[in-house]
Amino acid sequence: MKRFFLIIAFLTSVNAQDITTLEPIGTVVRVEKTEQSVTLHCRDNSQVRLTILAPDLIRVRAAFGKSIPTKDHSWAIAKENWPAPRWNLNETPDSITITTDELEVAVRRSPLLVEFRDARTHQLLNADERPMSYDAHGRLASMMFDPKAGTFVAASKKLGFDEHFYGLGEKAARLDKRRSSFVNWNSDTPGYTDKTDPIYQTIPFYIGLQRGIAYGIFFDNSYRSYFDFGKSSQQRAWFGAEGGEMNYYFFHGPSIKKILGRYADLTGHMQLPPLWALGNQQSRWSYYPDTMVEEVVSEYRKRDLPLDVVYLDIDYMNGYRVFTFDKTRFPDPKGLTDKLARQGVKVVTIVDPGVKHQPNEKGYHAFDDGLEKNFFQRRRNGDLFVPRVWPGDSVFVDFTLPDARRWWGDLHRFYTDNGIAGIWNDMNEPSDFVDQTGKNQLDVVSYDEGEKSTHAKNRNTFALLMARATYEGLERLQPDRRPYVITRAAYAGIQRYSTMWTGDTNSTWEALALNIPMFTSLGLSGEPFVGSDIGGFIGRGNGELLVRSYQVGFLAPFCRNHKQIDGYDQEPWRFGKYYEDIIRKYLKLRYALLPFLYTTLEEAHRTGVPLFRPLLLNYQNDPNTYNLDDQFMIGDDLLLAPILKPDVTRRLVYLPAGVWYDYWTGKQYTGGTMISVDAPLDVAPMFVRGGAIIPVGPMLNYVGEKPSDTIGFVIYPDEAGAASGDLYEDDGVSPAYKSGAFRRTSFSSRRTARGFTVSIGAAQGTYNPGPRKFNFAVKAAGRTGRGVSAVDNGKSREVQLK
Ligand code: GLC
């Protein structure tokens, strides 16, 4: 028995890297200052460089036992050059202190410890628990995935007694990551459940929150990485990687929203997808032949269910060859997309990274051409790397080669010529059926800006570069249209190129409940456009689960029902009229709310603050929200508390301080408390913040079906009778919004002796939406008041409501 426990203890210690055995960086012997950075020279020849990028953004880069290399490249970073902010340096015999308008970074010389404080309050934000360290003696080598590829590097921070941790991208875990640890190694993990780790994506960025004050850390290192938020020891929160540099960015809040804005500046802002991407989407592995696709769309139309997009999964291809159509199943792809376009439906096709490689096959242009150009990945000995994926033996493109990215992007002409509206990148971890862990790929070399590095460094960025090739290709092929790309795997920065979905979930209640912390965490990690297979991907669902799943997904940016090939059919009507009628109600509500959703999506593009939010993002000073992961908000104004369990028709809902309106009944509540609400199957408890003005559009079967000649505004007054809101509009398809072709209108309303006065602000931007009316109505005392209309002339004015 004792031996058994010893073995268990040994196994767990092997899994959890003991960073206390690592070699600490040497003490500081010399300090060198440049215009924007301070380089610390250490006794052991190590170097640490602190670069002041902005008053609230400091980069920390260390090289152990050597100088910091001049080569400095990351696929994640969008903005490399930052204008030097105001800062100064103060040296004492014990320490070096950098001060900006917002941050104070103090470095103790011996031992070398970095500490971040708020420059105004001197409050400690984050401090090293031990010096940055590295595996000088190979002590962790035996537990490394590829010991030959690098040296383990780590940084360790003091763990606050009441510190909460958020972000880290796509993790099958709770919202608050305190007392958990994670690995980043993009992995194909069908049927993952709570705590499966790693899964598909790597976003090595987290936010710490203590006493309402937040900081952020982005550890920009693409090697297999580890984050431990006080799991292995209550002393520390540490992060490390099996190679590469100690290289992290420190963000000062104090607000999380501000950190997300800076993170977006650094790694790129999400570009607006076409507006139809917010429409309802339907998928199946796989709809074929073409007549079945038409049938799906015609069912949608017949049943008065809105639909914008239908997906073609792998069976549309000729033997799973990307950039081909199966001639029998889809004899006339252009004819099909034209026909569906007339019904307002777009087609998105899957494009996996595996290019089929059949010995002696001649004439498959994607393989022949890529081989001739030498764009495919090879092993160190020069052999082609041949993974096995859906097509069988295949090859992968080396997307680190700029010419290969261009070539791959250009190949998408095949799709755009056939009227395909968007591209779905899957299996891009990259998945390899020969060995899913990646061991079979260790000696695969990528060009990597001339570094010719191996899989250990390139696995986690493979999907980012594939999505980039796709996005840039679509941009070149159709410069007047916004690209629409969706990906499964990712690395930080992916928001510049792609939307995402959370892969192969189960059709279970547990998987449904995970949607909320996963979507909110992705939003706190710079990825705003997220969603999950509605109804779940694997297994046999049921009508109740499907309805409850729509009650979460109908407000997620990406709203798509998708199902595995051998799973039970789950289009909205498959379980009968009772369920279908409820689903219709939610899909229609989504379309009515499109003006609100699009306004919130544009905010995510501009500010980095996601639409699908945990409550703590809006109520950062309210500790009741810090680990609330069965409720969420859309923007500032809608609060949802869906049912996530079978046979449940009532639940508790936490409402933060302020006035709240039950969306369905209009009943008013005073927040700062828990309430208990009824939630029969047709009700997803939903509340509107008092103080909001929610824009609503006309009933549509698809985006752009008819002009929005009347936009409604529902006013929900706060305790003082005031409310405000915005409406963002543009053409919804072209990139012209980037050069000012949008229209932003602000609204505010106040209670007066005579009723309500609404002030319409002067429209900003050059986009002209055409003639139309605004229709205002006040929600009060459980009902919506009589509406008053005003012709929109783009000018600032006031409207009186009774
Ligand atoms: C993967 C995807 C899934 C898709 C299937 C076939 O499992 O995650 O969405 O349907 O491959 O392409």
Q: What is the DSSP string of 497-514?
A: T-EE---S-BSSHHHHHH
Q: Among this protein's residues, is 630 annotated catalytic?
A: no
HSE (side-chain half, CA atoms, 13 Å) at 693: 27
Q: What's at 726, amino acid-wise? A: D
> Three-state SS across 91-127?
ECCCEEEEEECCEEEEEECCCCEEEEEECCCCCEEEE
| pLDDT score, position 787 | 81
| pLDDT score, position 802 | 74
User: How far is the centre of ligand 1, averaged over its atoms, from the C-alpha of 38 (Å)?
Assistant: 48
Atom 3 in ligand 1: which residue has the minimum CA distance? Answer: 504
Atom of ligand 1 nearest to the CA of 537: 9
Given 245, 429, 602, 662, which residue is catalytic? 429
For the packed helices 462-477 and 402-411, what is the interaxial angle rounded to 10 degrees? 50
Atom 10 in ligand 1: which residue has the minimum CA distance? Answer: 285
User: How far is the centre of ligand 1, averaged over its atoms, from the C-alpha of 448 (Å)?
Assistant: 28
Q: Is 329 exposed, middle or buried (0-12, 13-18, 19+ CB in 10 A)?
A: buried
Atom 5 in ligand 1: which residue has the minimum CA distance? Answer: 285
For the packed helices 543-553 and 577-592, what is the interaxial angle rounded to 10 degrees? 0
Atom 7 in ligand 1: which residue has the minimum CA distance? Answer: 504
Atom of ligand 1 nearest to the CA of 190: 7
User: How far is the centre of ligand 1, averaged over its atoms, from the C-alpha of 84 (Å)?
Assistant: 46
Task: Return the best residue to mutate from 192, 313, 534, 566 for the ligand 1 pocket (most ligand atoms within 8 A of CB).
Answer: 313
Given 352, 398, 504, 580, which residue is catalytic? 504
| pLDDT score, position 781 | 61
Given 104, 163, 170, 426, which residue is catalytic? 426
User: How far is the centre of ligand 1, averaged over its atoms, from the C-alpha of 432 (Å)?
Assistant: 14
Query: Which ranges of 242-332 does DSSP label H, i.e. alpha helix?
Result: 256-267, 290-302
User: How far is the centre of ligand 1, averaged over its atoms, from the C-alpha of 514 (Å)?
Assistant: 19
Q: Which residues of the chain have pLDDT under 70?
A: 1-16, 781-783
Ligand 1, CB within 6 Å, residue ranges: 190, 285, 313-314, 350, 426, 488, 503-504, 562
Torsion sign over Cα 325, 331, 334, 337: negative
User: How far is the centre of ligand 1, averaged over its atoms, from the C-alpha of 563 (Å)?
Assistant: 9
Tokens of 539: 């297994």
Atom of ligand 1 nearest to the CA of 313: 12
Pick from 502, 470, 504, 501: nearest CA to 485: 470
**Beta strand pairing call for 650-655 and 422-425:** unpaired
User: How far is the centre of ligand 1, averaged over its atoms, from the C-alpha of 463 (Å)?
Assistant: 15
| pLDDT score, position 5 | 46
**Beta strand pairing call for 422-425 and 346-351:** parallel
Inter-CA distances, 423 with 24, 309, 317, 413, Å: 47, 12, 14, 12
Pick from 593, 792, 778: nearest CA to 691: 778
Task: Return the best residue to mutate from 288, 426, 534, 562 for the ligand 1 pocket (most ligand atoms within 8 A of CB).
Answer: 426
Q: What is the pLDDT of residues 431-455, one digit of tens each?
A: 999 999 999 999 999 999 999 999 9
Other Cβ atoms less than 10 A from the Cβ of 83: the count is 7
Q: Among this protein's residues, is 504 annotated catalytic?
A: yes
Give yes or no for a contact between 290 and 326, defined as CB atoms under 8 angstroms apart.
no
Task: Return the best residue to mutate from 504, 507, 566 for the ligand 1 pocket (most ligand atoms within 8 A of CB).
Answer: 504
C-alpha of 574 from chain center: 30
Pick from 746, 705, 749, 748: nearest CA to 729: 746
Q: What's at 636, amino acid-wise? A: D
| pLDDT score, position 534 | 98
Pick from 488, 475, 149: nearest CA to 351: 488
| pLDDT score, position 7 | 46
**Residue 238 is inside which H or E element, if any?**
strand 236-241
In DSSP terms, 799 is beta-bridged to 758
Q: What is the pLDDT of residues 634-671, one digit of tens each?
A: 999 999 999 999 999 999 999 999 999 999 999 999 99
Give yes or no for a contact between 695 and 725, defined as CB atoms under 8 angstroms apart.
yes
Atom 4 in ligand 1: which residue has the minimum CA distance? Answer: 285
What is the spatial distance between Cα 367 and Cα 391, in angstroms, rounded to a whole number? 12
Pick from 348, 344, 312: nearest CA to 484: 348
Atom 12 in ligand 1: which residue has the minimum CA distance? Answer: 314
User: How far is the centre of ligand 1, averaged over its atoms, from the C-alpha of 426 (Å)?
Assistant: 7
Tokens of 43: 């006794």
User: How far is the centre of ligand 1, averaged over its atoms, from the C-alpha of 218 (Å)?
Assistant: 30
Atom of ligand 1 nearest to the CA of 350: 12
Task: Return the best residue to mutate from 322, 427, 558, 562 for the ligand 1 pocket (most ligand atoms within 8 A of CB).
Answer: 427
User: How far is the centre of ligand 1, averaged over its atoms, from the C-alpha of 631 (Å)?
Assistant: 28
Atom of ligand 1 nearest to the CA of 286: 10
Looking up tokens 């190129």 gives: 497
The Cα angle at residue 164 between residues 159 and 167, in degrees rounded to 5? 115
What is the spatial distance between Cα 574 and Cα 411, in angstroms, rounded to a whole number? 37
Contacts of 145 (CB under 8 A, 6+ apart): 185, 224, 242, 437, 438, 439, 456
| pLDDT score, position 16 | 60
